[in-house]
Amino acid sequence: MNLRIKDLLLYVSFTAISVGSVFAQTTNSLNSNATLDELIQYALENKIEVKQAKLDQEIGEREIASALSGWFPQINANGSLTHFTQLPTANINGQNIAMGMKNTSALTFQADQAIINPGLFQASKAAQYIRRQNTLGVEDTKINTVVDVSKAYYDILTSEEQINIIQENISRLNRQYTEANARYETGLVDKTDYKRAQISLNNAKAELKTALEFRKYKYDYLKTLLGMNPNNGLSLSFENQNMENNVLMDTSEVLNYANRVEIRQLQTLKDLQILNTQYQKWQFLPRLSAFANYGLNYRNNSFADLYGNNFPQSGFGLSLTFPVFQGGKRIHEIRKSELQESRIDMDLENLENQIGAQYSAAMANYRSNINEWRNAKENVELSEEVYNTIKLQYDAGVKTYLELMTAETDLKTSQLNYLNSLYAVMSSKLDIQQALGTIAIQN
């Protein structure tokens, strides 16, 4: 294997595993030859799911503001216009006397101020938990975005290197075909060797076409993750990164459940449920509010002169409502909320078990992939040595062309296995970081 292929294998252009680090500034466009950090930055600003999570966060703020608006004075205006075809009557000292006038109109302004209100108490205390919940929703979406974009980037990089290997293989096969054909024409060998060379060359070209098609799909998939128009061009940079410095990680790090955003989301849900239990207990409190009103009243038998005279009225006071008995509803609601708290506790326990299993699986995959990668790396060196030796022996007429083709196939297979195992290591390393909850989404 020549030096260029060896460099491709030993210094594959994977970026550092600190894939969560992104730039602080907003990105509206993606430069050519984009690095992984630039891809992540772009995705965190443009991916549809991230935008939706941010919109949900803004919607949540509006809901909080709407709920807390009940603490402000509630001012209403009511107007009426009535024409009596028959005036109401009242019996005074045995005589029926018509009351009022045929035309009346009123405009009343009233302001109410809540003082004691269980619903508003709950809204005030729930605001912090709802904000936390919405923020965690954005964080969860961003973490998934970082992981998905990183894996897609590594997958494309693997494809690029596979294509390089296949192209190098085609170059070797072209030389071998030319040599085999020349030997056949000079009568040194029969036509079997160059026919085999032709078959291998045709297969390699078909393999290259397949790899190019899959690469196109992988670029389109990455564009989807980025929230980019599929018709836009996308070029990536894989330079100045040393794979050997990135595949290893500390496997002794202890799993801390509190680092997982899913745990924090569920804990926030429990806090909200505890608050709901308290709210049900607050239902035993009275409702107390203050009010003030001012009314404009107009009366006249002649409709044309209705608004000629005003008889205003005004007042203020307190309103107290005390719920005495509701058929046991409040007791049942309290108990139901407490049971829901217990259920969330079980959800937390179940989630911790799932996270533990996820971490165990990710660690097992990583260790297995590391072993396979090291084995594949050694096989590349061995297959290169075998191929070079058999090639010299074939040129000297000691080995058959079939043995040369077998060595060449082993070399290509070991190279591709190396790349696949390398991608598996980087992917499983991301899975471990996600399981540990250590993927950062901000500088």
Residues whose CB falls within 8 Å of the CB of residue 411, separated by 6 or more in sequence, listed in order: 1, 380, 383, 384, 386, 387
Bridge-based pairing state of the strands 89-92 and 74-83: unpaired
Residue 183 pLDDT grade (very low, low, confident, very high; cuts 50, 70, 90): confident
Model pLDDT, residue 180: 79
Per-residue pLDDT, 244: 59
Q: What single DSSP character describes residue 13?
A: -
Written as six digits, the tokens of 18 are: 């600190």
Summarised one tens digit per residue, pLDDT across range 200-237 is 889 999 999 999 999 999 999 999 999 888 888 887 87
Average pLDDT in the 239-267 region?
Answer: 82
Residue 321, pLDDT > 60, answer yes
pLDDT digits (tens, 9 = 90+) for 336-349: 999 999 999 999 99
**More reliable by pLDDT, 56 or 13:** 56
Domain segments of the chain as ranges = 3-77+116-289+325-436
Structural contact between residues 157 and 238, judged by C-beta atoms closer than 8 angstroms: yes
Cross-strand partners of 289: 114, 319
Tokens standing for 298? 């107009």
Question: What confidence tens digit (pLDDT) does each residue in 258-307 have?
Answer: 999 999 999 999 999 999 999 999 999 999 999 999 999 999 988 888 99
Beta strands in 54-129 (DSSP E): 74-83, 89-92, 95-98, 103-116
The one-letter amino acid at 136: L
Tokens of 254: 């202890």
Q: Is the distance from CB of 23 to CB of 35 less than 8 angstroms?
A: no
Q: Is 280 helix (H, G, I), strand (E, B) or coil?
A: helix
10, pLDDT greater than 60: no
Q: What does R_g of the chain's alpha carbons equal in angstroms? A: 39
Q: Which amino acid is at 218?
A: K
pLDDT at residue 122 is higher than 80: yes
* pLDDT at residue 109, rounded to an integer: 96
Distances (CA, A) of 145 to 184, 233, 287, 439, 442: 57, 20, 47, 11, 13
Distance CA 376, CA 33 (A): 29
The pLDDT, as a whole number, for residue 435 is 94
Distances 433 to 104, 152, 193, 428 between C-alpha atoms, Å: 75, 16, 51, 9
Q: What is the pLDDT of residue 42?
A: 92
3-77+116-289+325-436: CATH class: mainly alpha
pLDDT band at 402 (very low <50, low <70, confident <90, very high): confident
Higher model confidence: residue 176 or residue 410?
A: 410
* pLDDT for res 58: 95
pLDDT, tens digit, for every residue of 127-174?
999 999 999 999 999 999 999 999 999 899 889 889 999 999 899 888
What is the rounded CA–CA span in Å between residue 168 and residue 178? 16
pTM of this prediction?
0.81
pLDDT for residue 430 is more than 60? yes
Question: How is residue 367 written in tokens?
Answer: 């260790």
DSSP string spanning 354-368? HHHHHHHHHHHHHHH
Mean pLDDT lowest among 14-28, 183-197, 292-306, 418-432: 14-28
Three-state DSSP at 83 gives strand
Identify whether the C-beta of residue 130 lies closer than 8 Å to the C-beta of residue 63: yes
For all residues of the chain together, what is the average pLDDT?
Answer: 87
